Amino acid sequence: MNTTQNLVLAGIDGSSLSNAVCDYAAWIAQKVDAPLKLLHTIDHHPEIADHTDLTGNIGVDSRDHLMDEIIQLDQQRSKLRLQQGKQILQAARERAMQAGVLEPIINQRHGSLVESLIELESDLRVLVIGVRGKVHENQPDKIGAKLESIIRSLHKPILVVNAEFKAPERIMIAYDDSQAAEKAVDMVANSPLYKGLTCHLLCVGKDEAAMEKRLKAAADKLVNTGNIEVIAKTLPGKPEQVLCDYQEQHTIDMTVMGAFSHTRLHDWLLGSFTVKMLTHSHKPLLLLR
């Protein structure tokens, strides 16, 4: 077993995708022989101002008494959230152990999820997280409110889960000759996670003649491992539409791709390819920065 400097970290929040997040994290941890940590965060927001306006024409004693009641109520809520978080983590730990992980680590932290992940980044091998949390879990056209910030903040691989667990048999690399795409090819070629799988190496929307040599070099790198069957193609069209359609047509179980290669301003003006894939894909996405 590797040290804690090589963690598979699963973000667990009790949403409908938490079980799938736990399952994918357990699968990765066992495949790469790495420890599994299950993380739940409690983000405390000031809530007093939301309850009532204390500046009205009521007496000082009444106002002070009301303030005390609100503080007590907030303390009770914090205790309940703490207890709920412990139960969520314990259930995830038991699920991971049933999947074969011997000693899952559980960690409950107070504060922002993004800040917690940044603090833990140096220990990470990969983060596994749901595409949406409890706030948007019944809105399939939305992604989690914090997901983009998490992806932009971390520089470790992030597996974004959007469906029930299925052990991957076929993966797809969205190849565009970028640094992140080359990183994806190297990772798939060298990781034990992908041994015995079929890899579809797909380039979309690029000049076919110009990309032929680079695509062949990337395919050769994968083939030379001796453990991966490779299908390499270039296709015309809008990348997000073609890739999502290809996922469905070829029963792709996981897509590996670069994330947010442009600035926020560029993404705001022209739309983010990463966000479009997160929104429209029905299979997990492994994102690399």
Q: Per-residue pLDDT tens for 164-173?
A: 999 999 999 9
Same-domain pairing of 131 and 197: no
The answer, yes or no, to whether residue 32 has pLDDT greater than 90, is: yes
Query: Which pLDDT belongs to residue 265?
Result: 41
CB 39 within 8 A of CB 107: yes
Question: Is 288 inside any structural domain?
Answer: no
Does residue 234 form part of some domain? yes
Q: What is the pLDDT of residue 92?
A: 97
pLDDT at position 2 over 70? no
Are 127 and 158 spatial neighbours (Cβ–Cβ below 8 Å)? Answer: yes
Instruction: Give the end of a domain, one of 136, 165, 194.
Output: 165
Q: 13 and 77 in one domain?
A: yes
- The answer to whether residues 195 and 169 touch, using CB atoms and an 8 Å cutoff, is no
pLDDT at residue 128 above 70? yes
The answer to whether residue 170 sits within a structural domain is yes
Higher pLDDT, 63 or 264: 63
Domain's final residue, options 165, 189, 212 = 165
Q: Is 131 exposed, middle or buried (0-12, 13-18, 19+ CB in 10 A)?
A: buried
Q: Are residues 176 and 240 in the same domain?
A: yes
Q: What is the pLDDT of residue 70?
A: 74
pLDDT at 157: 95
How many domains are there within the chain? 2
Identify the pLDDT of residue 205. 78
**131-154 pLDDT, tens digit each:** 988 777 777 777 877 898 999 899
Let me know whether 107 and 206 are in one domain: no
- Which of 125, 148, 165 corresponds to the end of one domain? 165
Q: Kindly tell me if the per-residue pLDDT of 8 is higher than 60.
A: yes
pLDDT at 63 (0 to 100): 65
Q: What is the 3-state secondary structure (H, E, C) of the chain?
A: CCCHHHEEEEECCCCCCHHHHHHHHHHHHHHHCCCEEEEEEECCCCCHHHHCCCCCCCCHHHHHHHHHHHHHHHHHHHHHHHHHHHHHHHHHHHHHHHCCCCCCEEEEEECCHHHHHHHHHHHEEEEEEECCCCCCCCCCCCCCCCHHHHHHHCCCCEEEECCCCCCCCEEEEECCCCHHHHHHHHHHHHCHHHCCCEEEEEEECCCHHHHHHHHHHHHHHHHCCCCCEEEEEEECCCHHHHHHHHHHHCCCCEEEEECCCCCHHHHHHHCCHHHHHHHHCCCCEEEEC
179 and 195 fall within a common domain = yes
> What pLDDT score does 66 carry?
75
Residue 250 has pLDDT above 90, yes or no: yes
CATH number for the domain spanning 161: value is 3.40.50.620
pLDDT of residue 267: 47
Percent of the chain with pLDDT over 90: 61
Find the helix packing angle between 273-280 and 239-249, rounded to 10°: 30
pLDDT one-digit tens code per residue, 157-198: 999 999 999 999 999 999 988 888 899 999 999 999 999 999
The residue type of 260 is F
Q: 204 forms bridges with which residues in the sheet? A: 235
Q: What's residue 151's pLDDT? A: 92
Domain that holds residue 24: 1-165
154 in a domain, yes or no?
yes
- Lowest mean pLDDT, pick from 68-72, 203-207, 229-233, 273-277: 68-72
| β-pair partners for 127 | 9, 158
Q: State the pLDDT at residue 218.
A: 94
pLDDT digits (tens, 9 = 90+) for 46-98: 443 444 454 555 555 666 767 777 777 776 777 887 899 999 999 999 999 99
Distance CA 219, CA 199 (A): 9
